[in-house]
């Protein structure tokens, strides 16, 4: 080395490049060995990733139902956006924030299974980044040796071919895919997903045990949500003209919609879900009739034998338990009347 250096024959750029390549090879070898050790270590516990901690009643109830049916497992961790308002029944359930990558990777190394869902979260209608986020953590879980399960998923046609391709590729790494309806199963099979991995189980909220039996009075619960193409202002004005008692229920915080309701219909009561599902459902079940844009609003109504009318913004809201004449599909959205006339007359004989 010294003789070459003295003769000026040392090629320092090549020497530096060779050293860098050697260092990278050593690091990759160590990383490979670490991953091998991690993948084959003894594991226990489940980790849950979904639309949790965003203050949505439906997703909170889904998480409660999921943890109830897996109560034989002692260790549970939920990845959430906000820890403050997540209604958990067990203090032993661990919570970590979505942006805490180190804590998430730690659980992937130690836990046996990662559950994606429940809920219709693998979609690209609202955001493609959301789909990529959930799939990316699924791939990470598999790399770290954690089994991957899709729980209680609902699928509607994806907008982009790239999204469909990603879902198909991800399904190769999944141990079991639970879907909540036949249409979701058929869609995945047409996409190329292995049908032997797919199981149809009804939405978990159907099995949600209500703490008490709620009494109701002749009144209308109106469950609305912000949605492109929904003439919410016109609907609210029409409901005012009915002349029956009505209460509005927002299944998640929506400041704009809440202000709109209070300004147009100041005499009506507006309830916004803020994490206390017991109090919220007590108010909700105080109504005898449910007019709902929300999928889980319809399920909760049907569970307690309430009369339900669906403002179906998606196929999932076209429930077979609801008479077709009590379903208004989004392509036909316009005025509520005469579509809901028969439904309203079951509450009051007074015509608008």
Which 3 state secondary structure label does DSSP give 298?
Answer: helix
pLDDT tens, position by position, 291-308: 999 999 999 999 989 999
Question: Hey, which residues does 250 pair with through a beta bridge?
Answer: 272
Q: Please, which residues have CB within 8 angstroms of residue 160's CB and are 6 or more apart in sequence? A: 124, 128
Quick check: 39 pLDDT over 90? no
Best CA proximity match to 197, nearest among 160, 157, 170, 235 = 170
Best CA proximity match to 120, nearest among 167, 67, 71, 77 = 167
- Going across the sheet that includes 246-250, the strands are 269-272, 246-250, 217-223, 287-292, 307-312, 327-329
d(CA 97, CA 200): 30
Quick check: 352 pLDDT over 60? no
d(CA 352, CA 337): 9
pTM: 0.85
pLDDT tens, position by position, 187-219: 999 999 999 999 999 999 999 988 777 888 889
**Lowest mean pLDDT segment, chosen from 203-207, 229-233, 234-238, 335-339:** 335-339
**Phi, psi values for residue 135, rounded to 5°:** -70, -35
d(CA 80, CA 276): 17
**Residue 150 · residue 167 · CB < 8 Å:** no
Alpha carbon dihedral 235, 240, 241, 245, in 10-degree steps, equals 120
pLDDT tens, position by position, 101-129: 999 988 998 899 999 999 889 988 777 88
Q: Give the mean model confidence (pLDDT) for residues 156-171.
A: 92
**Residue 230 · residue 222 · CB < 8 Å:** no
Using alpha carbons only, how large is the chain's radius of gyration in Å? Answer: 26
């Amino acid at each position: 080395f010294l003789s070459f250096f003295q003769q000026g024959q040392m090629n320092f750029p090549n020497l530096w490049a060779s050293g860098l390549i050697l260092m990278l090879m050593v690091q990759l070898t160590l990383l490979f060995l670490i991953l091998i050790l991690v993948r084959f270590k003894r594991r226990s516990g489940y980790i849950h990733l979904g639309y949790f901690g965003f203050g949505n009643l439906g997703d909170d109830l889904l998480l409660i139902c999921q943890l109830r049916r897996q109560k034989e497992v002692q260790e549970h961790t939920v990845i959430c956006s906000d820890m403050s308002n997540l209604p958990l029944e067990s203090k032993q359930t661990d919570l970590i924030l979505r942006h805490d990558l180190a804590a998430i990777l730690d659980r992937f190394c130690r836990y046996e299974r990662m559950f994606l869902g429940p809920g219709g979260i693998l979609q690209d209608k609202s955001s493609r980044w959301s789909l990529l986020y959930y799939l990316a953590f699924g791939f990470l879980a598999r790399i770290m040796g954690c089994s991957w399960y899709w729980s209680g998923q609902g699928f509607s046609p994806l907008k982009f071919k790239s999204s469909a391709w990603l879902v198909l590729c991800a399904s190769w790494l999944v141990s079991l895919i639970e879907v909540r309806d036949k249409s979701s199963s058929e869609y995945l099979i047409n996409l190329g997903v292995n049908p032997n991995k797919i199981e149809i189980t009804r939405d978990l909220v159907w099995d949600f045990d209500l703490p008490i039996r709620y009494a109701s009075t002749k009144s209308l619960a109106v469950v609305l949500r912000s949605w492109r193409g929904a003439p919410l202002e016109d609907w609210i004005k029409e409901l005012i003209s009915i002349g029956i008692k009505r209460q509005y229920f927002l299944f998640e915080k929506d400041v704009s919609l809440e202000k709109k309701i209070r300004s147009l219909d100041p005499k009506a009561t507006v309830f916004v879900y803020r994490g206390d599902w017991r109090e919220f459902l007590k108010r909700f079940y105080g109504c005898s009739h449910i007019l709902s844009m929300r999928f889980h609003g319809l399920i909760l109504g049907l569970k307690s034998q309430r009369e339900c009318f669906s403002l179906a913004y998606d196929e999932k809201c076209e429930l077979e338990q609801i008479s077709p004449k009590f379903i208004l599909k989004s392509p036909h959205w316009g005025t509520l009347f005469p579509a809901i006339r028969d439904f309203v007359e079951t509450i009051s004989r007074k015509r608008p």
